[in-house]
Amino acid sequence: MLLLEERIKALNAVKKDGAGLDYYDFVRWCSKTWQTVEGIYGADDPRVEELRTLALFNCSCNASMQALILAEDYHARLISFIDEIREGMAG
Instruction: State pLDDT tens for residues 61-71.
Output: 778 888 899 99
Contact 5, 36 (CB under 8 A): no
pLDDT given for residue 58 in this prediction: 65
37, with CB counted inside 10 A (0-12, 13-18, 19+), is buried
Average pLDDT over the chain reads 90
Nearest-angstrom CA–CA distance, 23 and 70: 11
pLDDT category, 14, cuts 50, 70, 90?
very high
Q: Count of domains in the chain?
A: 1
For residue 86, the enclosing domain spans 1-90
